[in-house]
Amino acid sequence: MNHYQAVIVGFGKGGKTLAVTLAKAGWQVAIIEQSKKMYGGTCINIGCIPTKALVHDAQLHYDFSQAMRRKSDLVNFLRDKNYHNLADLENVDVIDGRAEFIDSHTLRVTTPEGELTLTGEKIFINTGAKSVMPPVEGLASTPGVYDSTGLLNLETLPVHLGILGGGYIGVEFASIFAQFGSKVTIFETASRFLPHEDQDVAGAILGILKDQGVELVLNAKVDCVSEYNGAVQLHTDQGDYNVNALLVASGRAPNTQDLQLHQAGVEVNDRGAVMVDPYLRTTASHIWAMGDVKGGPQFTYISLDDFRIVRDQLLGSGKRHTGDRKHVPYSVFMNPPLSRVGLTETQARNSGADIQVVTLPVAAIPKARVLNDTRGVLKAIIDNKTQQILGVSLLCPDSHEMINTVKMVMDAGLPYTILRDQIFTHPSMSESLNDLFSLVQ
């Protein structure tokens, strides 16, 4: 039996960063990963990095097969780097295999060579999330149906791509494949597109997607899926649709089902997410959970901040917790990208706050004219009493960079006038924040 001071289950952002940090502090560390294709975690292998590489290449009008080869080369390079960043450390063991708890300090790992048992003084669960397959008849057995991982491994561009689910993952893939030249149809079960966004912003997004050739079918109840003449046929209450490939983009769920967490006294909620306190401790005090496996926002930067919280407990003052995060921004990497932080207008009005809403069309931004991309809108919600920014939505080029500046002003509790009067370089997309906040009365 092998004994370690720290055992990390899963090679994701939080786990791999913690492994390096503890190793440099002199700890004996084991990190367990069940797939050699997942060194580095979801983001590098099947998430942020490959999809954003495709976003970039689609905008430059790369050939699809060329873009997929470049994406694979990039992923393989980063995966190898991530592996050696840990495996080359003297006091880190990278173990390939599937882990399950025997008790709260002991794990059984099934490897290609057989089973091994190891113990850890402290254990960290970092197994991420996996795609959800809805209970639709034929969905799991019909050829041509993919989750996001499978779609990222296609070698041939589908003539017609169907997307089951009109959320953020579906929107990103719709924009990517439409720009490569696929006909794209989104099937959304809800009656409204992107219900978590304000209607004006969602409408602007839909307009951009339609200009790219994307079709949206709302209230699309899919009864079953089957193969028909080499195509995927969706049988819906609105009729039958044939597509060459179907992406199931119905969300992701915490990857906990094979861990035997009950053996360790670790509890999960009704969605299978590991339950944690604000310091990311589970119901077993020496076991922590980081990243998507604990539920909540599924972002790489949240996993990185999870690492900071755990590091502070192990090597610092132990004061940092999830309540310190304040405003968490996000971006949807369609073209142009949507980025948002804070409240929507709807949420702000429902809160009862005395607010003012200002919007600026992207067509009014000089840098957008330089880029020859004037699609989109900028929107801000201001608290009239405090003069603070309650929320911002940016649908424009470079919004994923601009939103970080807005977040810092909001986190610091500063008034909107900081951005209204800030000195930005010219021409830049960031300077449009001057113009947006100058509209506040």
| Catalytic annotation, residues | 426
Decide: 406 and 345 in contact? Cβ < 8 Å: no
Supply the DSSP symbol for 142: S
For residue 139, the one-letter residue type is L
Measured distance CA(252)–CA(266) in Å, rounded: 21
Residue 192 DSSP class: S
- Cα distances from 318 to residues 24, 284, 311, in angstroms, run 19, 17, 8
Chain centroid, CA 254 distance in Å: 13
Taking the C-alpha atoms of residue 152 and residue 142, their distance in angstroms, rounded to an integer, is 18
User: Can you tell me the distance from the alpha carbon of 60 to that of 387, in angstroms, rounded to the nearest whole number?
Assistant: 41
Question: For the stretch 81-105, what's the b/e string if a residue is b when 16 or more beta carbons lie within 10 angstroms of its beta carbon?
Answer: ebbebbeeeebbbbbebbbebeebb
Tokens representing 261 are 């967490």
d(CA 190, CA 165): 9
The 3-state DSSP class for residue 43 equals helix
Pairing of strands 338-342, 355-361: unpaired
Query: CA-CA distance, 143 to 156, in Å (whole number)?
Result: 15
**Spatial distance between the Cα atoms of 73 and 63, rounded to a whole number of angstroms:** 15
Alpha helix stretches (DSSP H) within 337-398: 345-350, 366-371
Tell me the helices (H) and strands (E) count for the chain, helix number first.
13, 22
